[in-house]
Chains A and B, each alone.
Chain A
Amino acid sequence: MEQMMPSGEMQERMQEAAKKLEPMMEQVSEFIVRTRDVHKVYLMGKVEVHALRGVTLDIKRGEYISIMGPSGSGKSTLFNMIGGLDKPTSGSVYINEVDLAQLDAYELAWLRCRTIGYIFQTFNLIPVMTALENVMLPMIFAGVPEDERRDRAMELLKRVGLAERWNHKPFELSGGQQQRVAIARALANDPAIILADEPTGNLDLRTGKEIIELLKELNEEKGVTIISATHDLKMIDVSDRVIWIRDGQISRIEDRSKIRVEAALEVEEALMEGELPDIP
């Protein structure tokens, strides 16, 4: 078809298409996650708990974001909203400009499978499977053929530095190694976003640092957006932006340039209030 078209007309059409697509692409490519006035009210027994009180947030593609805040601040709730694991009481969450509230069970599963990679505080590897099989699991759900699955999983394990441990079960691996497997698994289907919930929470200082560095490297080389809920101050150094949550609201958002000073102040402030987040 295209070959039969006169080249002038084809060019014209291409330009037309480009014109049409360009603003859309731009819009698509700038923000990977947007939340608009998100509220969440839980019913605990007969008491209403207002976990989120109007969170509006834009996260750019390829950013490394840390969501910080004391426990009970609504940090995890916000995290669940972004991951499509929970629905807001009011307000909307958009991923790739798609409103999560509009998605049915299939589409949500599809989104979790291919667009988002999850990393957990407790690693959450499937205990009956080897490291390699754990990395292959999301690819099973995505329908990747077996050979390709195996090759790709091996490649990912190599990337996180665990190629020679592929045949080990999770209980035969240290915490740091388990988290590396989990990171490889999160990357299995080439997601646009990695959601990490306290990824260093169960790790010692040095291992935690290694994991943070690995995440930062992946963020830079694959351009994957990383959103991490944490109260590990080591995260601040690598984050593009830090979002502080308090009482279900964003108390402030800091850019990279200001981060170090502000972080020091935050520690000081926390010290004065007597609620110290864990110091690296």
Chain B
Amino acid sequence: MTRSRGAMSAFGLTKEEIRRQIHLPWSEAFRISWRYVTIRLGRSLVTASTIFLSVAFLMAVCTMILAAKATGHAEEDPQAFAATLARYKWSVILGFMICATGIVSALLMSVTERFREIGTMKCLGALDGFIVRMFLIEASLMGLFGSLAGAIVGALLMLLWAGIKEGFSIWAKIPWGIKTPTGEWGFLGYFLASVFAGVVLSVISAILPAYRAAKLQAADALRTEI
């Protein structure tokens, strides 16, 4: 019985049918990626820490803007404020670029480490797309957690610092919502945007490593040494 099933299937199916029968389930890819992130927590934390730092910095700058507006410092000397902002903007961009490099190299390392597992999965019938999906999900998970932690810590530190310097009463003047009534960004808006930026950054950084992983040959699984 089992024999003839294997034999006939290679014959009687059209390409479309075969395509439909090869599954690329998101839920399974997510489950496997989640495993990789949580089990290799140390490595994931190192990768996530670069995202953490750059998002923390971004969120700190955003909070600083809000605090400066709340205390009225921003209106006292608009030119100086604008110059400071410009300086910070470049620091944030530079930070993000360094962060992206960090993620790319960490993930490339992880591809090299896992060449045999990736090859094995391909031997078991995984398509390139599944491998790509796994790596992108992994990167977005690390991006999400790194960014969340970074945004919280960055905001808290800056809020504390502003509170100590200007008095905690300014907290009441900070617009906490997504947008202010006048249409400017509020705290929650900056927070969500920072997290989003972190996730997007890590997913973009993961594209090259994921592609590299997908292009590994199934035969690599059989290699006994690296």
Binding site for B on A (CB under 8 A): 28-29, 32, 61-62, 76, 79-80, 83, 85-86, 95-98, 104-107, 109-115, 118, 120-122, 124, 126-129, 137-138, 140-143, 185, 189-193, 197, 222-224
Q: Please tell me which one of the listed residues B15, B21, B39, B124 contacts residue A137 in the complex, with CB atoms under 8 A apart.
A: B124
Establish whether residues B125 and A110, one from each chain, have CB atoms under 8 Å apart when the complex forms. Answer: yes
Establish whether residues A85 and B21, one from each chain, have CB atoms under 8 Å apart when the complex forms. Answer: no
Q: Given the known A-B contacts A107-B15, A126-B120, A223-B2, are A141 and B7 also in contact in the complex, defined by CB atoms under 8 Å?
A: no
Q: Which residues of B contact A114 (CB under 8 A)?
A: 6, 9, 125
Q: Please tell me which one of the listed residues B3, B36, B124, B217 contacts residue A113 in the complex, with CB atoms under 8 A apart.
A: B124
Q: Which residues of B contact A115 (CB under 8 A)?
A: 6, 9-10
Establish whether residues B124 and A85, one from each chain, have CB atoms under 8 Å apart when the complex forms. Answer: no
22 residue pairs A–B, Cβ–Cβ below 8 Å? A29-B3, A85-B218, A96-B7, A104-B15, A110-B18, A112-B123, A112-B124, A115-B6, A115-B10, A118-B123, A121-B222, A129-B35, A140-B28, A141-B124, A141-B125, A143-B21, A189-B125, A190-B5, A191-B6, A193-B6, A197-B222, A222-B2
Establish whether residues B127 and A61, one from each chain, have CB atoms under 8 Å apart when the complex forms. Answer: no
Q: Which residues of A contact B133 (CB under 8 A)?
A: none
Establish whether residues A113 and B7, one from each chain, have CB atoms under 8 Å apart when the complex forms. Answer: no
In the complex, the 4 A-B pairs of residues with the closest C-beta atoms, listed nearest first: A113-B125, A192-B6, A141-B125, A143-B23
- Of B3, B21, B28, B32, most buried by chain A (CB within 10 Å of CB) is B3
- Of A29, A137, A140, A223, most buried by chain B (CB within 10 Å of CB) is A140
Q: In the bound complex, how far is the Cα of B8 from the Cα of A141, in angstroms?
A: 19
Establish whether residues A109 and B22, one from each chain, have CB atoms under 8 Å apart when the complex forms. Answer: yes
- Of A86, A104, A105, A192, most buried by chain B (CB within 10 Å of CB) is A192
Establish whether residues B121 and A126, one from each chain, have CB atoms under 8 Å apart when the complex forms. Answer: yes
Q: Which residues of B contact A98 (CB under 8 A)?
A: 10-11
Additional 4 contacts, C-beta under 8 A, given A127-B117, A141-B22: A95-B10, A104-B15, A115-B9, A223-B3
Establish whether residues A121 and B123, one from each chain, have CB atoms under 8 Å apart when the complex forms. Answer: no
For the complex, count residues of B whose C-beta is within 8 A of A: 42
Q: Given the known A-B contacts A109-B127, A110-B22, A137-B121, are A128 and B39 also in contact in the complex, defined by CB atoms under 8 Å?
A: yes
Q: Given the known A-B contacts A85-B218, A98-B11, A191-B6, are A142 and B23 also in contact in the complex, defined by CB atoms under 8 Å?
A: yes
A125, closest chain B residue (CB): B120
Q: Which residues of A contact B218 (CB under 8 A)?
A: 85, 112
Q: In the bound complex, how far is the Cα of B2 from the Cα of A62, in angstroms?
A: 12
Interface string of B97-136 (1 = CB under 8 A from A): 0000000000000000000110111111111101000000
Establish whether residues B7 and A192, one from each chain, have CB atoms under 8 Å apart when the complex forms. Answer: yes
Interface flag for B224 (CB, 8 Å): yes
Establish whether residues A124 and B116, one from each chain, have CB atoms under 8 Å apart when the complex forms. Answer: yes
User: Shortest beta-carbon distance, A257 to chain B, in Å?
Assistant: 25
Q: Given the known A-B contacts A105-B128, A106-B127, A118-B124, are A140 and B25 also in contact in the complex, defined by CB atoms under 8 Å?
A: yes
Interface string of B31-49 (1 = CB under 8 A from A): 0100110011000000000
Establish whether residues A120 and B221, one from each chain, have CB atoms under 8 Å apart when the complex forms. Answer: yes
B221, closest chain A residue (CB): A124
Establish whether residues A85 and B6, one from each chain, have CB atoms under 8 Å apart when the complex forms. Answer: no
Q: In the bound complex, how far is the Cα of B21 from the Cα of A140, in angstroms?
A: 11
User: Shortest beta-carbon distance, A51 to chain B, in Å?
Assistant: 12
Q: In the bound complex, how far is the Cα of B128 from the Cα of A141, in angstroms?
A: 12
Establish whether residues A86 and B10, one from each chain, have CB atoms under 8 Å apart when the complex forms. Answer: no
User: Shortest beta-carbon distance, A36 to chain B, in Å?
Assistant: 18
Q: Which residues of A contact B32 (CB under 8 A)?
A: 128-129
